[in-house]
Every structure is written in C-alpha cells, then in structure tokens.
C-alpha cells in the first residue's frame, strides 16, 4: 500500500528531493508540488547546532515578514486608560483589563496573540496557567510586554512571526501562503533566515545551520543548501 496518495505522487514525480537546492529552487519545487484545494501555508524547518537545554543557547525571538503571513491575526491587548485607546486605534481586536481576565477565566479564548503593558502583568499573571500552555502569554523577549502597544499591534497585524527552538534543536515557522508566489515567499524566507543567523548564540560551537527544509502544509519537503543561504544573507 503506497505511503502517499496519487495526487502527491504525481506532483513529486521527477523531482529529486534528496539533493540540496538553492533557496529559490526549493521554493519553486514547493510551489510546483503543491496540490491541495486550499491555500496551503509555506513552512520552513531549520535544524540548529544548539543545545536548548542550556539557557544561553535558547534561540527565541520574532520577525516581521516583508509580505506578512497571509493569516488574519486576532490581537488582544491588556491595557488601561491612554494605552487602551492607543491599542484600539492601532487595530487591536480586543482591549481591556480585569473584564478580559474574567472572560478568559470563563473559558473564552477567541484570539491569536496577546499584548500587555508592563503594569498589567500582575493582573495577567492570574491567567498564566491558561495562556502559558497555549503560547498566548505576553512575553517581554518577544516584544509583547510593552508600553508601545500601538507599534506592536501594527507589527502583529502586518505579519509578525514568533518562533523558538524546540527540544530537538529545530525551529519551525509558517512564512506565508502558497498563493503569495515565488518572489514574496523568497523575501519572507530570506528575512526569517537572516534573523535566525543574527541570533546565533556565542556559546554555540561548530555548524550553526545544520539543515533547512521547506514544504507546503501537506506537500513534499525540499532540502535547502545552508551554504546558499549564507551567501544570500551576506
């Protein structure tokens, strides 16, 4: 019994998935082999030469993609007074304080990202056990605990992607939609990879970019040559 369906096999027939490719060629092959009836997400997975068990080798940050993610992100902001008004003007979907905490405690979770002003973190801490496991807790390292709520809301709405290396030393991220086309996906991938390279821990020894692969949501994956990526970033 075949591992993959007929549509998948037809799309990858003739494509050599075992070789290392330039980023541009890999993106082309992802687009060519995409076959889903929905607009798939363009995904990237990067194996890093780090040991996440050590705090000084934890790679975690965010980047605003040049062409966004193609997703509508619902942003909730915990703020009061003037900052509440700023958040609303910037396009936040939900803004408030204690009333939002109570609503979340009641089981409501219809939002994708959260932002909080520093003075609200004591209040937000009451629902840390709810937000934390869902990666919804505001985090200063990701810029989501800030008094500059207008700017961060605009960044999230325009395509800000948060990421962190997992226990296996791999960073996963969605960098747009297949419908973006080759040029926009290349720009997004380049911006993401540039950020990853900037974050190389000083304590990380040996090869940093060990392997890179790109794929669509249910499509085939293709290997990107890290040497090509370094040349592009330079």
Whether CATH 3.30.190.20 fits 16-59+165-233: yes
Whether CATH 3.40.50.790 fits 75-157: yes
Residue intervals of the chain classified under CATH 3.30.190.20 are 16-59+165-233
Residue intervals of the chain classified under CATH 3.40.50.790 are 75-157
Query: Rounded to whole angstroms, how far apart are CA atoms 139 and 27?
Result: 32
Question: DSSP class of residue 66?
Answer: T
Write the DSSP assignment of 115-162 as a string of letters: EE-GGGHHHHGGGHHHHGGGT-S--GGGT-BSS-HHHHHHHHHHHEEE
Query: Rounded to whole angstroms, how far apart are CA atoms 123 and 12?
Result: 52
SS3 69: coil
Measured in whole angstroms, the distance separating CA 229 from the mean position of its chain's CA atoms is 19
Residues 6+ apart with CB under 8 A from 8: 35, 218, 219, 220
Per-residue pLDDT of the chain (234 residues; tens, 9 = 90+): 356 666 666 566 656 778 999 999 999 999 998 888 999 999 999 999 999 999 999 999 999 999 999 999 999 999 999 999 999 999 999 999 999 999 999 999 999 999 999 999 999 999 999 999 999 999 998 899 999 999 999 999 999 999 999 999 999 999 999 999 999 999 999 999 999 999 999 998 899 999 999 999 988 899 999 999 999 987
Measured in whole angstroms, the distance separating CA 158 from the mean position of its chain's CA atoms is 13
Q: What is the pLDDT of residue 193?
A: 98
Query: Rounded to whole angstroms, how far apart are CA atoms 182 and 42?
Result: 11
Q: What is the pLDDT of residue 9?
A: 63
Indicate the angle between helix axes 23-33 and 226-233, nearest 10 degrees: 120
Q: What is the pLDDT of residue 1?
A: 39
Query: Rounded to whole angstroms, how far apart are CA atoms 75 and 221?
Result: 31
């Amino acid at each position: 019994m075949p591992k993959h369906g007929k549509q998948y096999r037809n799309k990858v027939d003739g494509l050599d998935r075992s070789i290392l490719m330039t980023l541009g060629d890999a993106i082309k092959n992802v687009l060519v082999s995409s076959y889903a009836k929905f607009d798939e997400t363009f995904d990237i997975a990067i194996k890093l030469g780090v040991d996440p068990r050590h705090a000084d080798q934890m790679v975690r940050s965010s980047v605003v993609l040049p062409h966004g993610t193609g997703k509508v992100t619902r942003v909730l902001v915990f703020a009061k007074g003037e900052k509440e008004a700023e958040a609303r003007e910037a396009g936040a979907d939900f803004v408030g304080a204690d009333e939002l905490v109570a609503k979340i405690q009641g089981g409501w979770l219809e939002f994708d990202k959260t932002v909080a002003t520093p003075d609200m973190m004591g209040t937000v801490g009451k629902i840390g056990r709810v937000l934390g496991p869902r990666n919804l807790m505001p985090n200063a390292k990701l810029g989501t605990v800030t008094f500059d709520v207008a700017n961060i809301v605009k960044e999230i709405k325009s395509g800000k992607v948060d990421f962190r290396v997992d226990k296996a030393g791999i960073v996963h991220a969605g960098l747009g939609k297949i419908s973006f086309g080759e040029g926009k996906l290349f720009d997004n991938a380049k911006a993401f990879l540039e950020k990853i390279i900037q974050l190389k821990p000083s304590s990380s020894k040996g090869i940093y970019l060990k392997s890179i692969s790109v794929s669509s949501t249910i499509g085939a994956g293709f290997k990107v040559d890290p040497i090509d990526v370094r040349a592009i970033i330079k």
